[in-house]
Structure 1
Amino acid sequence: MMEDIKADVVHDVVGTFCPVPVAETAKMVKQMQIGQVLELIADDPGVVEDIPAWCKATGQEFLGMYEEGGEYHLFVRKVKEL
Structure 2
Amino acid sequence: MVNNQFNDVQISLLRLLDRPITEQEVIEIKDLLVSYFDKKLKTQIEFDIIEKGINEADFEALRKGTKPSKIVRNRHASSH
TM-score for both structures, normalised by structure 1: 0.25
- Structure having the higher strand fraction is 1
The structure having more radius of gyration, on CA atoms, is 2
Between 1 and 2, higher relative CO (CA 8 Å, sep ≥ 6) is seen in 1
Structure number with higher helix proportion: 2
Instruction: Give the TM-score normalised by structure 2.
Output: 0.26
